[in-house]
Amino acid sequence: MELKTEGYRLHNISPLFLFIEAVKKMVLPLLFGIIGTSGDRQDMIIIGIAAFASIITIVQFWFYHYWLEDDRLVVKEGILFKSLRQVPYERIQNLNIERNLLHKFFKVGTLQVESASGVKPEAVIRVVADEQIKHIQKVIKDKGVVHQQKVAMDPGSSSVTLEDAVVDEPKPMYQMSNKDVTIYGFISHKALVPIGVVGSVLSQNDFYRQKFFNLVQKFVGDLHIEQWGLTEWLIYGAIFVFVMLVSIWLSSIALAFLKLYQFKISKVGKDLYAEMGLLTKITANIPIKRIQLLKIKHSPLHRYFKKVSVKMETAGGVTEQSGITMKWIAPLVSKFKGQQLIAAIQPEVDWGKIQWLRLEARAWKRVFKRMMLLILIPMLPLVYFYHWMGLMPLLLSPMVYWYAKAYMNKSGYAVNDQIVAYRHGVFFHTISIVKIAKIQNISYLQTPFDRRNGMARLTVDTAGSNPVTQDINLHYINQDTVELLMNQLSNKVSRSKFVW
């Protein structure tokens, strides 16, 4: 196929956004490092180099071209090391658009194209005009569909409805009210980690720690810490904890609003279309057939509000660091509505047919022993130093017993012709569901402990799965059952074709 060499250029305002992005990625982390450390001259030199490098990045604007072929998106970039990237439309997993206040002011947006490969997005087009984005979206959508139909040799169904849907604002299948966003922010405690990081960095630095103490003393008067008795410590400690909690809650809610304000998700033809965000607005297009795994999660706080979170995993490992991510189906939704949503997204699965099976009941002893080990090992030095007083942690054993029993009760798995599902977690409960057709390979694992108890573990791997948390990980099941399951599953997977 012959390729054009010239295509669309980026919007004229792009250098500004390229510069901002470079500054975000290079200079800010360094500045943060300096606050945390000494701020010597060599640090300033490094910052200077980083700033210079950020300015250089602007130059790439003149070397960035992209164009839309019949069946693929082509991106040409690079100054010294040129690259030409071709992404067939039907391989595009997600199409995400980001717009913050600055974008809105210039009527532009950042477009991110994701395929199933790698950690980095396939192409980030920073930035293009709004009309151009609409054009690209439409082309990718229409041509992707047309191409698929050609491949499937199925000219019967038409793509007319899809075209209309892109133009019209579809009726959302789920949207978040401000109250939902507030509750979600409260539940998530998202600000806990950033506040903790900032706090610990600042407390490492003598200068800032002193400054902080001075500020507090100016505000509430001299505290005379050296004269405090137990009651004062308790009172001030409680006040401190309370203030911290409230500020974590408030900032978590603020973060939730920034991210999820007016969250809306709708089903447009064969795609999911989502938008969200207060200052930075993100819109995402996810082909439903690209969804690899569905997850329903709830924590104790979720249960208090009688809500769950519904997430999905798509192929391709773009993380929050490497690009725009969209993993939500519904951040906060009632359990019933959540099930309805999933059923609406994947109507081909018979959700009523799922039968949950228990793990081996006798495995509670193994959970009990494992948890007790976690108590007994730290107890050893306690016993050494405090003698019989060090045995106090043993009082926790009834709790551990309860936990082990609860672990068995809350866990379960389900396998049928369409899906594999696993649920687990006493406090933080997760239900993960994978369609058989999305399974890539199947593993069986048996540790020496498993063997002693005649048990084994079954895991399946999918394209979008998180490498850290293994979502489908059927543990504490009889060896024979696992072997049987493995045979059944591999036969089912090898027979399952991709007809959508």
Partner 1 sequence: MKTFSFKSLEKNYLKVFRISSVIGVLLISLPFTVGSSVSLDLTWPLRVLVYISFVILFYGFVHWYSVYWFKAYQYQLTEAGLDIHKGVFWKQQNMVPRNRVQHIDITTGPLERRFDLSKLVVHTAGTRNATITLPGLLHVDAVELRQELINTNQTEDTV
User: What is the rounded distance in angstroms from the CA atom of residue 415 to the CA atom of residue 433?
Assistant: 10
Least separation in angstroms between residue 442's CB and partner 1 is 4
Site string for partner 1, 82-101 (x = CB under 8 A): --------x--x--------
Q: Is 78 left (phi over 0), alpha (psi -120 to 50) or beta?
A: left
The residue with tokens 């293009």 is: 128
285 binds partner 1 (CB under 8 A): no
- Segment (H or E) for 333: strand 328-333
Binder among 161, 319, 397, 443 for partner 1 (CB under 8 A): 443
Nearest partner of 341 among 407, 406, 267, judged by Cα:
267
Site string for partner 1, 25-64 (x = CB under 8 A): ----------------------------------------
CB neighbours of 380 closer than 8 A, spacing ≥ 6?
A: none
Our CB check for partner 1 shows the closer of 41 and 495 to be 495
**Whole-number Cα distances in Å, 442 to 69, 354, 487:** 38, 20, 10
478 binds partner 1 (CB under 8 A): no
Least separation in angstroms between residue 450's CB and partner 1 is 8
Nearest partner of 436 among 373, 485, 385, judged by Cα:
485
User: What is the rounded distance in angstroms from the CA atom of residue 70 to the CA atom of residue 388?
Assistant: 78
Which of these segments, 33-41, 251-259, 273-281, 443-451, binds partner 1 (CB under 8 A)? 443-451
**Whole-number Cα distances in Å, 79 to 64, 122, 133, 224:** 9, 18, 25, 63
Our CB check for partner 1 shows the closer of 119 and 250 to be 119
Site string for partner 1, 235-274 (x = CB under 8 A): ----------------------------------------
Nearest partner of 93 among 268, 267, 291, judged by Cα:
291
Binder among 349, 465, 476, 477 for partner 1 (CB under 8 A): 465
Count of residues that interact with partner 1, criterion CB under 8 A: 35
Least separation in angstroms between residue 88's CB and partner 1 is 10
User: What is the rounded distance in angstroms from the CA atom of residue 420 to the CA atom of residue 414?
Assistant: 6
Binder among 7, 461, 478, 481 for partner 1 (CB under 8 A): 461
Which of these segments, 23-31, 295-303, 365-373, 463-471, binds partner 1 (CB under 8 A)? 463-471
Least separation in angstroms between residue 473's CB and partner 1 is 10
Binder among 4, 164, 447, 484 for partner 1 (CB under 8 A): 447
Q: How far does the chain reach from its first CA to its final CA, in angstroms?
A: 29
Our CB check for partner 1 shows the closer of 1 and 151 to be 151
Cα atoms in the Cβ-side hemisphere of radius 13 Å centred on 485: 27
User: What is the rounded distance in angstroms from the CA atom of residue 232 to the CA atom of residue 217?
Assistant: 16
Binder among 315, 342, 345, 415 for partner 1 (CB under 8 A): 315
Which of these segments, 5-13, 28-36, 40-48, 490-498, binds partner 1 (CB under 8 A)? 490-498
3-state secondary structure of 231: helix
439 binds partner 1 (CB under 8 A): yes
Least separation in angstroms between residue 284's CB and partner 1 is 18
Our CB check for partner 1 shows the closer of 68 and 493 to be 493
- Segment (H or E) for 461: strand 455-462
Binder among 463, 474, 477, 485 for partner 1 (CB under 8 A): 463
Nearest partner of 415 among 405, 407, 423, judged by Cα:
423
Contact residues for partner 1, defined by CB under 8 A: 90, 93, 116, 290, 315, 317, 439-448, 451, 456, 459, 461-467, 470, 486, 489-491, 493-494, 497-498
